[in-house]
Structure 1
Amino acid sequence: MATATNVKNATFRNPDMYWDIAASIYFPPEFDENKTYPAVVTAHPIGSCKEQTSGNIYGTALAEAGNVVIAFDASFQGASGGTPRFREDPAERVEDFRRVVDYLVTLPYVDADRIGVLGVCGGGGYTLSAALTEKRFKAVVSITGVNFGRMQRETAAAGEGGVIGALRGVAAQRTAEARGAESAVSGMLPETAEQAAAVGDIDIVEAFDYYRTDRGREDNGCVLFEAAHGATALGWDAFHLADELLDQPLMVVVGDKQGAFGAYKDGKEIYAKAASTDKELVELHDVSHYDLYDQPNGAGEALKKVIPFFAEKL
């Protein structure tokens, strides 16, 4: 895959924020600031950062194809500001997309009428949710998108006390912190490759390989989650009202090697549910969730569909 050579880092702040959002802007070859270009916003997975897959893989390739691409760190994560750190709040994650577009439309070389959006994993679920009401997005792509609310409820349901027990735990932690306790943070991944293998699920094994080895490891890709603000996700559904509001041209990319994160079934669900009359489900054979992050048989094949999709729709 292409290696980015024309990238600059930016930070910006909206009037509704007390912190900065950090982003990387990828420029097309022979970029001319006196011209205007289509733009694509790319969103990273949960627990990740802009340098992982959304920027270095999809951002680079889409820029090489002639787009200005902005890969951003979610608020409270990566190089973006906001406290408490590692907060995974769907309301804030979705609002970040609007903040990024607000910044994009101030750039003279961006055509405000030709902006698309792409998200990977949890970023794909947030992308779909944002596009419901953010109609400055003219074309939408989900790459192995995960409905984070559904995933959180399923995970909680398998534990002691179920979803209600998890909500009570969040409530107790929030009360403790209001009274002065330290912020509580937990990790999603096992500590070793052997522990990941013992879980016996392809998504867990490959998540460890991506985030904890030189394959995809980045300082800001911590895969850590703050606890006291977890209630919102447990009551959230990325696909709510998609049958009424998700009307933009849509491409949903999934691999058929299914794992615990549930991207395959989420992809099938949102494809069937979306109101768009211009939609495509791309199902890649013998491809896993993490193949779609950075592997030629996954991300490489997805980009063969995604690049012409944006070229046509933008």
Structure 2
Amino acid sequence: MAVTKKNVKFNAQGLQVAGILNLPEGAENKKGNPAIVCVHPGSSCKEQTAGIYAEKLAELGYVTLVFDASYQGESGGEPRFIENPAARVEDIRCAVDYLTTLDYVDENRIGILGVCAGGGYAVNAAMTERRIKAVGTVVGANIGRVQRESGDPLKALEAIGRQRTAEARGAEPMVVNWIPHNQEERKQAGITDIDIVEAVDYYTTPRGQSANSPNKLKYSSLDAVLGFDAFHLAEELLTQPLQIIVGDKQGAFGSYRDGHELYKKAASTKKDLFVLKGVSHYDLYDQPEPVRKAVEKLGAFYKENL
């Protein structure tokens, strides 16, 4: 099905969030279209993997909305490059708000799909955003857990406190990179984990790089990330139909483990965990065959539940 892309903006807590609205052919001329909010990974943007899924789901007949997180990409907000879980979750609520203003969208047929950290944020938002009727994740990861396990969280919080004090006294903001800038830098750091190797390949080469994903992170914003648990209260509040998709080639980001944890924890009575054999975290970002299989599974899931 042909898809029309529209650049849109919507309000999120006083900020203008930049998005891409994907419209299936003829969608604007009929009522009652189902819609899906697509949420990008940490460090990512609307043009990358979440945008790929948004377009492919639109080809199946869903109105889809993918957007840059507040403070990132083409969206508004200062300071730049912060990763704030509360803001990321609020962005999702505001994306749902925006969809409900479109007269060709059925407000009772809105779903969500999140990739990597976006999957964790999608789950977290859906627990208290009951307008979301179906939840999908592709290599969904609990970004708080990832950060806590990447080093000593207490030492990191002490360092963040010192940095905030310095910035309050006039020091320049400390902006760090999410991942090594290239494979040579990664090798020099002695990093061999498959997720980091493939992240560098995806984000820093023509394969996936985008000007809206500059590999920059305001260091002090990690305090909120370190205290965040994307799956907190899922056993009580996550009741919507749930489709989890992961690959079984495991790396440092732990999406395979998080997928199994979420499946066990979610209160959803209708839930499924789909494991792709021989597939890595980043294969499910953009590689044709894994993405095809994921979209096929998601298409059937949303058809049944939206």
Q: Which band: TM-score by shorter chain?
A: over 0.9
**Alignment partners' CA distance in 1, 2:178 and 2:222:** 14
**Alignment partners' CA distance in 2, 1:196 and 1:10:** 37
Uncovered stretches (5+) of structure 1, i.e. residues with no partner: 157-161
Q: Is the 8 A contact 2:20 2:46 kept in 1?
A: yes
**Alignment partners' CA distance in 2, 1:79 and 1:228:** 21
Cα offsets for 1:248-280 (capped at 9, x unmatched): 000000000001111110111000100001000
Residues 249-268 of structure 1: matches in 2 within 5 Å? 249-268=241-260
**Residue 192 of structure 1, CA deviation:** 2.4
Uncovered stretches (5+) of structure 2, i.e. residues with no partner: none
**Alignment partners' CA distance in 1, 2:28 and 2:21:** 14
What secondary structure sits across from 1:8 in the alignment? strand
Percent identity over the alignment is: 53
Aligned to 1:25: 21
Question: Are residues 1:104 and 2:99 paired?
Answer: yes
Aligned to 1:178: 168
**Alignment partners' CA distance in 1, 2:165 and 2:204:** 33
Residues 30-179 of structure 1: matches in 2 within 5 Å? 30-55=26-51, 57-156=52-151, 162-179=152-169
TM-score (norm 2): 0.96
Question: Are residues 1:9 and 2:7 paired?
Answer: yes
Q: Is the 8 A contact 2:202 2:209 kept in 1?
A: yes
**Alignment partners' CA distance in 2, 1:47 and 1:23:** 16
Q: Is the 8 A contact 2:42 2:117 kept in 1?
A: yes
- AA partner of residue 197 (structure 2): V
Q: Is the 8 A contact 2:43 2:216 kept in 1?
A: yes
**Alignment partners' CA distance in 2, 1:131 and 1:32:** 26
- AA partner of residue 15 (structure 2): W
TM-score (norm 1): 0.94
- AA partner of residue 33 (structure 1): N
User: How many residues are paired up?
Assistant: 304
Q: Is the 8 A contact 2:35 2:62 kept in 1?
A: yes
**Alignment partners' CA distance in 1, 2:272 and 2:287:** 22
Cα offsets for 1:178-221 (capped at 9, x unmatched): 11222111112223223435411111111111111111111011
**Alignment partners' CA distance in 1, 2:43 and 2:181:** 15
Q: Is the 8 A contact 1:46 1:223 kept in 2?
A: no
Q: CA RMSD for the aligned pairs? A: 1.3
Aligned to 2:182: 192
Aligned to 1:283: 275
**Residue 36 of structure 1, CA deviation:** 2.7
Cα offsets for 1:61-81 (capped at 9, x unmatched): 110111100001110111111
Q: Is the 8 A contact 1:119 1:141 kept in 2?
A: yes
What secondary structure sits across from 2:201 in the alignment? helix
**Residue 5 of structure 1, CA deviation:** 4.5
Aligned to 1:159: none
